[in-house]
């Protein structure tokens, strides 16, 4: 008997393609929206966590100024000096290494190819602080670092744009006004969730950058590696005390520098994306319910419109239960179909938006199953009322219906 | 030509093909009453109808609007139940059946043809004819074979994949007849089957019904306003004021009476 009713329901859907499509449009949009939003939210969270992990865990970033969104007004706080780097490395317990950083935006040129990039001057300590292995070549020697020689290690984006299909190690190219020997290449780290492309960089001994590009001994950023056995909070407060002392900040005066714990950033970003995902999903879920009401609406109209048809079916011997089941199965089949189409659209949307936002393509089975199940349940719930109404019709009146 | 077989009240129509007279008729109405509404607006559509119809007969039901013929047909078609009295179908009291049981009775023993054809739109002739078989639960192959056979009987087997919109009125009514006979019912109930057709198509439909009545031994009950159409029946039942007024027997069905 169920096969019969399924046949009847599917025939009826196939006969009214436009009406069927309009009926399920709400479900399609609702399912597609929910699945897309949840998947993209999940992908964003994962990507942010991965990027932050790539920056390295147990790293404190020390910058002059009062951090995001604070300070402003007054003279700019002074940058750090190489002595600050040495002081932190020598005096604070739990610090494994301190890498200073000085950067400049430059144009790099190799055999007619131009590329605007950032030159980052640092010391060999950066390789202890950050887990950033070389893809090829070598690090600079202590002698080269000391002398501030123009040797550099370049990131994947620079390789791609200046040395397409060429092994850059051993080549000499122009960085700004100087020429520089490529001694190594970095492994690719990918897009950062914030702060742009981490592979678009030319890494050079800090002395070379200070002498040739910035023209001073200033350090804009220190990356402090923290020993696993020490708490980053404790190390952070030790550094704060040391820097306040060195920068002569006393009493209740606020720090004129800030220290960021990457783990803290990671947590903040994760909880923000999770919250945003929930809100957007809730909005999408409302559209799914609206889609369900759309199904009920069209099915109710359909019962009125098809009164005569129902009369014919009853007259030729359909029992009330069969008419009820036919309408119910029609509603469920429609909403399941809508759910399936919505899932397909969601995968396409996730694919397109992921590519656009530089996110990895993600398929989350849970939300797909859930969204499909909800669309089926919507079919049952919102299809039952119209179906019961159809089944309760009196065949004589139904046949007389114009 | 018509023979008046007596006044109002109990009347038995018979024909040579039917079982012996002492056997129970296929359909028996006894003192059937149908009342609509209640209180001041109460209306009695049937005031005690007695009618026997033998298996294999071809019966035309005539009468002015409001005479009770449609109500009687609805009761005979098991679409409606009498308010009082007895309706025996094959000796079984139909008034004791519930809604679904009557649906099953219609499915098994009855076929319907309507004035407005009442085919499912956007649905091929074959699928329309198949519909009762679907409810009966036939397999796909059996459905197709029986439906094609029914379409062949009405001369439309070559039109099986056409939808009602692609068929003429006469052809649509033939499809409806094929749908009604595909389950090989005992009784075919036709409610003004020629009401929407011109006279030429009407005669064709009546000849088809006559042929089905004779060759397939289907009992035909037909409501009609037109004496020309009633002339195809062997028995003509006249209704008036909620009662059977008279029953005529026509010994030469298919011949139009010269004067009435």
Question: Does A59 map to a domain?
Answer: no
Q: Give pLDDT tens digits for A262-271.
A: 777 777 877 8
Of B80, B100, B123, the CB nearest to A319: B100
* Cross-chain residue pair B137–A4, CB shorter than 8 Å: yes
Structural domain containing residue A207: 78-255
Pairing assessment for the beta strands B84-89 and B92-93 based on DSSP bridges: antiparallel
Q: Do A319 and B103 touch (CB under 8 A)?
A: yes
Quick one: pLDDT band at residue B208, thresholds 50, 70, 90? very high
Q: Answer whether A15 sits within 8 Å of B123, measured CB to CB.
A: yes
pLDDT, residue A73, reads: 58
- CB-CB: which of A8, A309, A317 is closest to B132? A317
pLDDT for A342: 94
Q: How confident is the model at residue A365 (pLDDT cuts 50, 70, 90)?
A: very high
Whether residue B162 is predicted with pLDDT greater than 70 in this model: the reply is yes
The strand pair at B110-113 and B187-191 is best described as parallel
Mean pLDDT, residues A336-358 taken together: 92
With 0.80 as the threshold, say if the pTM is over it: no
Tokens describing residue A213:
């590009």
| Residue carrying the six token digits 């109500």 | B71
pLDDT value, residue A68: 55
B16: DSSP letter = T
In a domain, A110, yes or no: yes
Whether residue A219 lies inside any domain: the answer is yes
Task: Check residue A82 and give its pLDDT.
Answer: 87
Q: Tell me, yes or no, whether A102 and A31 share the same domain.
A: no
- A314/B134 CB distance under 8 A: no
pLDDT tier, A293 (very low <50, low <70, confident <90, very high otherwise): confident
Residues in B touching A321 (Cβ below 8 Å): 100
* CA nearest to A16 within chain B: B122
* Strand-pair partners of A128: none
User: Which range among A144-158, A172-186, A255-269, B201-215 shows the weakest confidence by mean pLDDT?
Assistant: A255-269
Chosen from A17, A316, A320 to mutate, greatest number of chain B CBs within 10 A: A316
User: What does the alpha-carbon distance between residue B191 and residue B180 come to, in Å, rounded to a whole number?
Assistant: 12
* Contacting A residues, span 322-361, partner chain B, CB-CB under 8 Å: 322
For chain B, the residue count is: 260
Distance from CA of B185 to the nearest CA of A (A): 11
pLDDT winner (highest mean) among A40-54, A295-309, A350-364: A350-364
Please, what are the domains in chain B? Answer: 3-249 (3.40.50.300)
Instruction: Please give the Cα distance from A51 to A262 (Å, whole number).
Output: 10
Contact B239, B11 (CB under 8 A): no
On whether residue A67 sits in a domain, the answer given is: no
Q: Report pLDDT for B124.
A: 94
Tokens standing for A26? 């709400």
A121 in the same domain as A47: no
CA–CA min distance B129, chain A (Å): 11
**Distance (Å, whole) CA A182 – CA A163:** 11
Q: Which of A223, A255, A287 is the last residue of a domain?
A: A255
Q: In A288-305, which positions are buried (b, 16+ CB within 10 angstroms) versus exposed (e)?
A: beebbebbbebbbebbee
Closest residue, chain B, to A400 (C-alpha): B116
pLDDT tens digits for range A87-135: 998 999 889 899 998 888 999 999 888 899 999 999 988 888 877 778 8
CB A223 within 8 A of CB A61: yes
What does the pLDDT average to over B215-225? Answer: 93
- Asked whether residue A133 falls in the same domain as residue A14, the answer is no
Q: Check whether residue A47 and residue A116 sit in a common domain.
A: no
Residue A62 domain-assigned (yes or no): no
Across the strands, what pairs with A61?
A: A223, A260
Q: How far is CA A311 from the centre of its chain?
A: 56
Q: How many Cα atoms within 13 Å fall on the side-chain side of residue A61?
A: 19
Answer whether residue A222 is part of any domain.
yes
Give A205-218 pLDDT, tens digit per residue.
999 998 888 888 88
Q: Are strands A178-186 and A172-175 parallel, antiparallel or unpaired?
A: antiparallel
pLDDT in tens, A19-28: 888 888 888 9
In whole angstroms, give the CA distance from residue B49 to residue A200.
99
Is the same domain home to A273 and A250? no
Number of domains in chain A: 2
Q: What is the average per-residue pLDDT within A136-159?
A: 90
Helix and strand tally (H, E) in chain B? 7, 11
Judged against a pLDDT cut of 50, whether residue A197 lies above it is answered with yes
Interface-testing mutation among B80, B82, B134, with chain A (most A C-beta atoms within 10 A): B134
A395/B122 Cβ within 8 A: no
Mutate to test the interface with A, among B34, B102, B120 (most CBs of A within 10 A): B120
Please report whether residue A163 resides in a domain: yes
B179/A317 Cβ within 8 A = no
Asked if A25 and A84 sit in the same domain, the reply is no
User: Mind telling me how many Å the CA of A331 is from chain B's nearest CA?
Assistant: 19
Closest residue in A to B183 (Cα–Cα): A316
Closest CA to B2 of B260, B203, B192: B260
Dump pLDDT digits (tens) for A49-97.
777 776 667 888 898 887 655 555 567 788 888 889 989 989 998 898 9
Query: What number of helices (H) and strands (E) belong to chain A?
Result: 13, 10
Query: For the segment B7-49, what is each residue's pLDDT rounded down to a tens digit?
Result: 344 444 444 444 444 567 999 999 999 999 888 888 999 999 9
Across the interface, whether the CB atoms of A316 and B131 are under 8 A apart is answered yes
**Cβ contact, residue pair A395, B108, below 8 Å:** no
- Do A246 and A108 share a structural domain? yes
pLDDT of residue B256 exceeding 70, the answer is no
DSSP state of B164: G
How high is the pLDDT of residue B192?
A: 92
pLDDT of residue B9: 40
CA atoms within 13 A on the CB side of A221: 15
Nearest to A11 among B127, B179, B180 (CB): B127
Q: Could you say which of B74, B100, B110 has the minimum Cβ distance to residue A396?
A: B74
Across the interface, whether the CB atoms of B135 and A320 are under 8 A apart is answered no
Q: Which of A233, A255, A277 is the C-terminal boundary of a domain?
A: A255
Task: Give the pair of three-digit tokens for residue B243.
Answer: 């009662």
Could you tell me which chain A residue has the CA closest to the CA of B111? A316
Confidence class for position A196, pLDDT limits 50, 70, 90: low
H or E element that contains A63: strand A59-64
Q: Which residues pair with A194 in a beta bridge?
A: none
Model pLDDT, residue B7:
38
* One domain for residues A108 and A36: no
Cβ neighbours of B131 in A, within 8 Å? 312-313, 316
Task: For residue B15, give both structure tokens.
Answer: 């024909």
Q: What is the arithmetic mean of pLDDT over A254-267?
A: 81
Examine the domain organization and report whether A292 and A245 are in the same domain: no
Shortest CA gap A22–chain B (Å): 18
Hey, of B135, B136, B176, which one would you mutate to test binding to chain A, going by the most A CBs within 10 A of its CB? B135
Q: Write out chain A residues lying below 8 Å of B180, CB-based.
A: 316
- The mean pLDDT value of chain A amounts to 86
CB-based contacts of A98: which residues, under 8 Å, 6+ apart? A85, A86, A88, A89, A125, A129, A222, A223, A224, A225
A303 or B148, higher pLDDT: B148
Question: Nearest residue on chain A to B177, judged by CA atoms?
Answer: A316
Q: A87 and A234 in one domain?
A: yes
Q: Terminus-to-terminus CA distance in chain A, angstroms?
A: 30
CB-facing half-sphere around the CA of B164: CA atoms within 13 A:
18
Cα–Cα dist A164/B64, whole Å? 97
**Which residues have CB under 8 Å from A362's CB, separation 6+?**
A39, A42, A43, A46, A350, A354
Beta strands in chain B (DSSP E): 3-4, 27-36, 43-53, 58-62, 84-89, 92-93, 110-113, 187-191, 219-223, 235-240, 243-249
What values do phi and psi take at A137, rounded to 5?
A: 80, -150
Helix (H, G, I), strand (E, B) or coil at A396: helix
Quote ipTM for the complex.
0.86
pLDDT at B101 over 80: yes
More confident residue, A113 or A193: A113
**Domain identity same for A166 and A133:** yes
What does chain A come to in residues?
402
Q: Own/partner pairs for B67-72, CB < 8 Å, 24+ apart? A: B67/B239, B67/B240, B67/B241, B67/B242, B68/B34, B68/B239, B68/B241, B68/B242, B68/B243, B69/B223, B69/B239, B70/B191, B70/B223, B71/B34, B71/B45, B71/B46, B72/B29, B72/B32, B72/B46, B72/B239
Which of A255, A289, A317 is the last residue in one of the domains? A255
The answer as to whether A25 is a domain residue is yes
> For residues A115 and B95, what is the distance between their CA atoms, to the nearest angstrom?
94
Residues A389 and A315 in one domain: yes
Q: Are B171 and B159 in contact (CB under 8 A)?
A: yes
Q: Best-predicted range by mean pLDDT among A203-212, A262-271, A272-281, B50-59?
A: B50-59
């Amino acid at each position: 008997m169920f096969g019969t009713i399924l046949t009847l329901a599917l025939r009826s859907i196939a006969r009214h393609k436009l009406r069927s499509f309009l009926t399920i449009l709400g479900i399609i949009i609702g399912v597609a929206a929910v699945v897309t939003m949840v998947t993209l939210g999940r992908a964003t969270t994962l990507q942010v966590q991965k990027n932050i992990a790539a920056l390295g865990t147990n790293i404190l970033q020390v910058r002059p100024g009062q951090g995001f969104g604070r300070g402003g007004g007054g003279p700019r706080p002074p940058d750090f000096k190489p002595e600050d780097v040495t002081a932190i490395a020598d005096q604070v317990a739990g610090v494994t290494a301190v890498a200073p950083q000085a950067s400049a935006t430059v144009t790099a040129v190799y055999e007619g190819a131009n590329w605007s990039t950032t030159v980052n001057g640092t010391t060999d300590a950066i390789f202890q602080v950050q887990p950033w292995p070389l893809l090829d070549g070598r690090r600079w020697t202590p002698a080269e670092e000391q002398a501030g020689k123009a040797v550099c290690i370049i990131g994947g984006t620079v390789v791609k744009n200046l040395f397409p299909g060429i092994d850059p190690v051993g080549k000499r190219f122009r960085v700004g006004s100087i020429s520089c020997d490529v001694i190594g290449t970095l492994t690719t780290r990918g897009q950062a969730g914030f702060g742009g492309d981490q592979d678009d960089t030319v890494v050079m001994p800090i002395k070379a950058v200070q002498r040739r590009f910035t023209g001073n001994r200033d350090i804009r950023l220190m990356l402090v590696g923290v020993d696993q056995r020490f708490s980053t909070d404790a190390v952070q407060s030790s550094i704060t005390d040391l820097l306040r002392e060195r920068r002569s900040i006393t009493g209740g005066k606020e720090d004129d520098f800030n220290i960021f714990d990457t783990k803290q950033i990671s947590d903040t970003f994760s909880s923000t994306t999770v919250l945003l995902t929930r809100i957007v999903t809730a909005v999408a879920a409302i559209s799914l319910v609206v889609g369900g009401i759309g199904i009920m609406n069209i099915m109710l109209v359909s019962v009125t419109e098809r009164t005569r048809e129902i009369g014919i079916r009853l007259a030729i011997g359909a029992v009330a239960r069969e008419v009820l089941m036919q309408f119910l199965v029609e509603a469920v089949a429609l909403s399941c179909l809508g759910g399936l189409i919505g899932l397909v659209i969601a995968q396409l949307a996730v694919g397109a938006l992921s590519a656009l936002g530089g996110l990895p393509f993600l398929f989350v089975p849970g939300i797909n199953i859930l969204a499909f199940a909800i669309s089926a349940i919507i079919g049952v719930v919102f299809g039952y009322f119209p179906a019961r109404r159809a089944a309760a019709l009196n065949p004589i009146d139904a046949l007389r219906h114009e | 030509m018509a023979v008046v077989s007596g006044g109002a009240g109990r009347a038995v129509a018979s024909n040579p093909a039917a079982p012996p007279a002492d056997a129970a008729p296929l359909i028996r109405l006894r003192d059937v009453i149908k009342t609509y509404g209640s209180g001041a607006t109460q209306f009695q559509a049937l005031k005690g109808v007695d009618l026997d119809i033998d298996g294999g007969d071809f019966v035309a039901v005539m009468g002015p609007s409001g005479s009770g013929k449609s109500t009687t047909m609805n009761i005979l078609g098991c679409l409606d139940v009498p308010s009082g009295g007895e309706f025996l179908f094959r000796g079984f009291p139909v008034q004791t059946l519930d809604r679904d049981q009557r649906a099953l009775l219609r499915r098994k023993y009855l076929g319907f043809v309507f004035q407005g054809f009442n085919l499912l739109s956007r649905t091929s002739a074959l699928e329309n004819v198949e519909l009762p078989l679907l409810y009966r639960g036939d397999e796909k192959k059996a459905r197709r074979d029986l439906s094609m056979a029914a379409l062949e009987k009405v001369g439309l087997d070559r039109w099986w994949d056409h939808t009602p919109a692609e068929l003429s009125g006469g052809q649509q009514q033939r499809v409806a007849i094929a749908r009604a006979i595909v389950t090989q019912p005992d009784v075919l109930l036709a409610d003004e089957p020629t009401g929407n057709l011109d006279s030429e198509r009407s005669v064709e439909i009546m000849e088809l019904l006559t042929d089905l009545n004779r060759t397939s031994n289907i009992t035909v009950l037909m409501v009609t306003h037109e004496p020309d159409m009633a002339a195809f029946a062997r028995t003509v039942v006249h209704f008036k004021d909620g009662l059977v007024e008279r029953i005529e027997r026509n010994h030469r069905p298919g011949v139009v009476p010269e004067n009435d």
